[in-house]
Each structure stands twice: as C-alpha cells, then as structure tokens.
Amino acid sequence: MLDLTPEQQALREMVHSFAQDVVAPGAAERDKTGEFPLAIMKQMGELGLLGLPFSEDEGGTGGGYVSYAIAVEEITRACASTGITYAANLSLGISPIYLFGTKEQKAKYLPHLFQGDYLASFGLTEPEAGSDAGGTRTRARRTEGGWILNGSKCFITNASYAGVVTTTALTDPEKKTKGISAFLVEQGTPGFSVNTPYDKLGLSASNTTELVFEDAQIPEENLLGTKENVGFKQFLEVLDGGRISIGAMGVGLAQAALDAALKYAKERKQFGKTLSSFQAIQFKLADMATQVQLSRLAVWNAARLKDAHKPFSQAAAIGKLHASETAVKCALEAIQIHGGYGYMKDYPVERYLRDAKLLEIGEGTSEIQRLVIARSLGCA
C-alpha cells in the first residue's frame, strides 16, 4: 500500500476507533428505524472532521482529500448511512460555498458548517433532470433586490438538517446549460419547503429529500459567487470532488463486506472444517481483498491529484466506477459466503448490498462515469 504521512496514519487510526466505537454499534438499528445520525455528526464537528479537506485559511482543518477519503472510508465501513451523510455534507454541501462563495458568504456559513451547528445540502437533481442536468426546469426570475425561485428538486441528501442549500436554477433559459446559476437558499426562506417522501432500498438513516420552491424569495447576496450563469461549470467541479468521496464510500463498504465474510469464514464449520480452509472460499476472499485494494488505490490516486492541484476528473471517475462496482460485488460475495444466513437480517451483509447499490447511481451513474472516462480518452 502507498505510504501515508504520519498525520494521515494518525487520522486513520483516530477515525477507525471513533467509527468502530461510536458509529458501528447503532448501524443495524438505524437501518431499521431510519433515525438520522445527527448526534454523530455533531461529534464529528467537535473532532474537526467536518472541516477535514478544507484549508486552514478558510477555517478548515487542512487535512486534504487523501485524509478525507480515509475518513469517508472508515465511517462508511462502520455505517454507510452515516458515511453518505458525512460525504454529502462535505463534498456537496460545504464544497460549493468553499469553492465559489464570496468572502461574506464564506464568513457567514463556513464556521457553522465546520462546527456542525447545521449541515449543508446541494440541490441539483430534478424529476426531469437526472444525468442530464441540461434538463433543469427550476427557474430563477430577477426581481428588485434578488430572485424569485420556482420549481422542485428530488433525491437531495441532508436538506432537512441543512441550514443552507445550494440550488441550481435557470436564470437564462435561452442559453440552456450556460444559463444556469447557483443560489444559497436558507432554511426558513418563505416559499421554500423540504419534504421526505422516499422509501429507499438502503441507506435508510440517510436523509433524502424533495425541495419545493414556490415563489421563494432569494436575496441579491445569495447568488453563489459573484457571477450569473456559471452554475453548470460550478456543479461539474463540485461533482468531480464528490466522486472521490463516493469512491471512498465504495472502498469502505467493500472492506466491511470483506471483514464480515472473513470473520464468518473463519468461524463457520461445514464438513468438520472452517469455511476459510476451503479453496473455493479462499479464492472468493482473495478476489475481494484484491478488488478492495485496487479500489482504494484508485480513489487515493484521484485524491492525491486533487491535493496536488492537478487534473483529476478522469481519476475520480475511474475511482468511483471501480470502487462502487466493487462494493456491490463484494457485498454479493459476502452474502454468498454466509449462505442462508447471509440472506437474513441477523447478519450485516444484506444491508451492505442494499447500501452499496446506491453508489453505482448517486453523483453520476456508472454509465455516466464510463462516459466521462471515454471522453477523457478522446472519444467523441
């Protein structure tokens, strides 16, 4: 494995202990009840994990993206619902403000976000605009001293607990994707409401919402950044960073599946021998370990490039694609190794499968990742 710096190593140990002691014990229960891990997010704020990848100049903790990928992996390994809550809060919620916010916008929100006083959220997907963001219908009309927003967003993570939601809307419909702008919509804005209508396959304790804008009044100063019609470019950049964290979630879930399968294979006896003494099972475990390691390296590679301010879009897409598909495959193999028990909710592996599937869909489906990679190869 690539060498980590002493700080990254220390961080890994800290997050691992925190995740196993504090996050893991309630994971199965949260999966059942759907209880949002709000207390855990507050604790993560106290530990400085909510500012992890962001620079110290902006009030973050300056750990960089490799450290962040490590944290997302370890949290997800303990509980994927908590993992996505954390990853979406940072990559999608905080990042747009951190990357494009004005001085005033950063000063207003970032300290609270790093502290965990409230979460942040990112409203991009719409009923008619999933992979095709060009289909955005939400409309922002200029008024005196601001904008009026109308439209709706779907599948938005964390918005019930978000103090501020970055939302994309058409400011100049004629220009299509070049007419999209991003706005900072605060909780409690008149005409803005958050609903939770979804019943999901997995990630039950993650907060997935629908945003509705009915003549929502957005003040002048809440245009993200200083320029109109640059929303499309902004969110592409946000999504690139987000892919690293979804990749890291894939690594964490795949590792969790391997951990569970290995433990079970060493304990469970059939024909008078442990499962782990059968070559058929050994090969499954070896293949899982190989794919977990490759996924981790691919994700860390993208994180390293980002930390070095080098182009990382292709690397992030490769990492996300491989790690999310590995998570699904490893969860399936872990169930297979558990046999009939793996199909039961008494063991965690069926949850891993339900949780892992989202990773092949969220923040760009596997098909979109392949398109991004193909384009980076020069395919037209």
Partner 1 sequence: MNVVVCLKQTFDTEAKIVLDAQGKVDANGVNLIINPYDEYAIEEGIRLKEKFGGEVTVVSMGGAKVAEALRTALAMGADKAIAIQDPASYGSDEYVTAQVLAKALKEVPFDVILSGRIAIDDGSSQVAVRLAEQLGIPSVTSIMTLSVEGNKAVVTRDIDGGMETVEITLPAVLTAQKGLNEPRYPSVAGIMKAKKKEFKTFTLKDLGMDHGDAGFAGAKMKLDSISLPAPRQAGRVIQGEPVQAVSELVRVLMDEAKVI
Residues that bind partner 1 in the complex, under the rule CB under 8 A:
6-7, 9-11, 13-14, 17-18, 46-49, 51-52, 56, 61-63, 67
In angstroms, the CA 24 to CA 29 distance is: 10
Tokens of 118: 């409230």
Tokens of 342: 């793996």
Tell me how far, at minimum, the Cβ of 54 lies from partner 1, in Å: 11
CA distances from 226 to 55, 222, 256, 325, 349 (A): 21, 9, 43, 39, 47
Dihedral (CA of 88, 94, 96, 99) sign: negative
The string over 192-213, giving b where at least 16 C-beta atoms fall within 10 Å of a residue's C-beta and e elsewhere, is bebeeeeeeebbbbbbbbbbbb
Tell me how far, at minimum, the Cβ of 293 lies from partner 1, in Å: 17
Asked if 319 contacts 296 with a C-beta cutoff of 8 angstroms, the reply is no
Active-site position among 73, 74, 333, 363 = 363
- Indicate the residue among 64 and 123 with the shorter CB distance to partner 1: 64
- DSSP per position, 275-344: GGGSHHHHHHHHHHHHHHHHHHHHHHHHHHHHHTT---HHHHHHHHHHHHHHHHHHHHHHHHHHGGGGGS
Q: 363 catalytic, yes or no?
A: yes
- Indicate the residue among 62 and 191 with the shorter CB distance to partner 1: 62
Helix axes 80-87, 231-267, angle to 10 degrees: 160
Catalytic residue IDs:
363
